[in-house]
Structure 1
Amino acid sequence: MAIDAATVRKVAHLARVAEPEDRLEALAQELNGILAWIEQLNEVDVQGVEPMTTAVEATQPLREDEVTAGGDPAKVLANAPKSADGFFVVPKVVE
């Protein structure tokens, strides 16, 4: 897939990025270089390699899933900007 100046102009417009007209061709060449590099990554043999989300093996510390009464409502609402009758008061967002 080759990117030309017209494509860069369109993407810049959609992204609301102002790029001078004389810079579009250089950006197109840079993006084509990046796409060529990505194509090289497709040549790497990844058979048998497990997908990973991080380079460091880590497990999430989990807590017991216990149902509680929520504690003391007065303490829960103490940090609320507004409360009424034991509930949080929030601005209306739906007409």
Structure 2
Amino acid sequence: MPDITPDVVSHLANLSRIALTDDEITRLTGELEQIVESVAKVSAVATPDVPATSHPIPLGTVTREDVVGVTLTTEEALSGAPASEAGQFKVASILGEEQ
């Protein structure tokens, strides 16, 4: 396991083009060291016989059946529209065309 030193943190910050103060480098050195240790612990127990999971609790399908219901007619949908044309809502152009 590689050691996380202030020099390593400084080098990574430089590669990432992130300006860090000495206090930030010191704080991040400890935090990154702890992250690396935690990943090493997980890697040690993640053997091939342990299946990968994306969620700790198995999830079932949470969708409902797609059932066609009562819908509005075109006239009903457009009845409250300020403007309509050819069975569609009419809106102001926004792609550079002048009115």
TM-score (norm 2): 0.51
Q: 1:45 to 1:72 in 2, by over 3 A?
A: same
Gaps of at least 5 residues in structure 1 are none
* Contact 2:9 2:29 (8 Å CA) reproduced: yes
Question: Cα–Cα, structure 1 residues 21 and 62, in superposed 2: closer, same or farther, change >3 Å?
Answer: same
The CA RMSD measured in Å over matched residues stands at: 3.8
Identity percentage of aligned residues? 14
Are 2:89 and 1:87 equivalent residues in the alignment?
yes
1:26-65 equivalences under 5 Å are: 26-60=27-61, 61-64=63-66
Which AA in structure 2 matches 1:44?
Answer: V
Match of 1:43, SS state, is helix
Say if 1:5 and 1:28, in contact at 8 Å, map to a contact too. no
Cα distance, 1:76 vs structure 2? 4.4
- What is the aligned residue count? 86
SS in 1 for 2:44: coil
- The structure with the largest alpha-carbon Rg is 2
Find runs of 4+ consecutive structure 1 residues off by over 4 angstroms.
74-80
Amino acid at match of 1:58: L
Q: How far does residue 10 in structure 1 lie from its aligned partner after superposition? A: 4.5
Contiguous gaps of at least 5 residues in structure 2: none
